[in-house]
Copies of this chain bind each other. A is one copy, B any other.
Amino acid sequence: MIIVFNKNKAEEGIAELRKKFNGQKQIFVNNNRVAVQGADENELPTNILETVEEVITNVPAAVQGSRLFHPQDTVIHTPHAVIGGNEFVMMAGPCSVESEEHVKKMARVAKKGGAKIVRGGAFKPRTSPYSFQGLGEEGLKYLREAADENEMDMITEVMDDEHVEMVAKYTDIFQIGARNMQNFSLLKTVGKTNIPVALKRGMSATIDDLLNAAEYIASEGNRQIMLLERGIRTFDNKYTRNTFDLGAVPVLQKLTHYPVIVDPSHAVGEWDLVTPMALAGTASGASGMIVEIHDEPDKALSDGPQALKPKTYLKMAQKVFEVHQVINNK
């Protein structure tokens, strides 16, 4: 149930609600809108009724993420970037942090293409236990330096709840990978921080699954969330790694206030398909993009086939911003 209070009487109404449901129901507040988890309309204290503008009873399970609870867009501010609203944010970098020198080189390329945020994995969730698993904390340091030297922010994946504290020392944005989208203890742990979280949609997660996973983060207090569409698993997997579900972009924008970011690299998995999909993702109305780049894809320690070489990336990035301008010009 969501209660919409009269704007100048919200404070007292909320106080009453807290008194009434104290310790029994979870209460979430967004200005004059209050969600009371699991409560029934006829449990409302009668003395608040005249300060109430509307009671919305048909609410989705992922209530904090819904537009009903939070009609305006969430806009996330990191030191050098704005994510959400009318902005379009470019995030680029290598799949894995491979070495200090390499990640710094890639950060410079990313910056040149207009990226405000550099990406790179230090902890890699690999299908096989015998594949390269990342440089660990050392990788985080290199990525931090690469970001700082270029006046950029960084995003990196955290795979385990016990690593959250350590990764938090370095990163501006936590990335939760597709395989961990429903690792609920990890979600709750990042939900207890105040660092923005980029939540990747699981390979076969429905829209509702994704919103409920985001709600695990929000339920612990952190609503600085962005959602990443990175392709879903379908029967059509001979020529592309996944099926890029761009319809999810406007669907999510209708249902939720969180910014939606697209990841064309993982969606298709082949570098020569990345540019058209990056343009399509931009035209679909996404708030930004995360893309993998590498100067020598053949030697990449992970996901080489989908990495853009610097020259291709720069050309793509330019077109992306041009398309965004057309789209954004209302």
Q: Point out the residues of chain B lying under 8 angstroms from A184, CB to CB.
A: 125-126, 129, 159, 179
Residues of A215-255 contacting chain B, CB below 8 A: 215-216, 219, 232-240, 243-251, 254-255
Whether B204 pairs with A129 at a CB distance below 8 angstroms is: no
Q: How far is the CB of A260 from chain B (nearest CB, A)?
A: 11
Q: Which residues of B contact A233 (CB under 8 A)?
A: 204, 235
Give min CB distance, A27 to chain B, whole Å.
12
Across-interface contacts of A38 in B (CB, < 8 A): 130
Shortest distance between the CB of A251 and any CB in chain B (Å): 4
A326 to B328, CA, bound (A): 14
What per-residue 1/0 map shows which CB atoms of A99-122 lie under 8 Å from chain B? 000000000000000000000000
Q: Does A285 contact B (CB under 8 A)?
A: yes
Name, among A128, A179, A326, the residue most crowded by chain B CB atoms within 10 Å (CB to CB).
Answer: A128
Q: Are B236 and A245 in contact (CB-based, < 8 A)?
A: yes
Q: How far is the CA of A73 from the CA of B136 in the complex (A)?
A: 37
Separation in Å of the A246 CB from the closest CB of chain B? 5
How far, in whole Å, are A130 and B63 apart by their CA atoms in the complex? 10
A206 adjacent to B238 (CB under 8 Å): yes
Any B CB within 8 A of the CB of A322: yes
Judging by beta carbons under 8 Å apart, are B236 and A61 in contact? no
Check A207–B127 contact: CB distance below 8 A.
no
Encode contact with B along A194-217: 1 for CB under 8 Å, 0 otherwise: 000000001110111100100110
- Interface flag for A15 (CB, 8 Å): no
Q: Is the pair A323, B327 in contact by a Cβ cutoff of 8 Å?
A: yes
Could you tell me which residues of chain A, from 9 to 64, have a CB within 8 Å of some CB in chain B?
26, 37-38, 61-62
Q: How far is the CA of A115 from the CA of B88 in the complex (A)?
A: 31
**Residues of A with Cβ closer than 8 Å to B?**
26, 37-38, 61-62, 125-131, 159-162, 179-180, 182-185, 188, 202-204, 206-209, 212, 215-216, 219, 232-240, 243-251, 254-255, 267-268, 272-273, 276-277, 279-285, 319, 322-323, 326-327
Taking A179-B182, A243-B247 as known contacts, 7 extra A-B pairs with beta carbons closer than 8 A to each other, sorted by chain A number, are: A130-B215, A202-B204, A232-B234, A236-B245, A239-B251, A247-B267, A280-B281
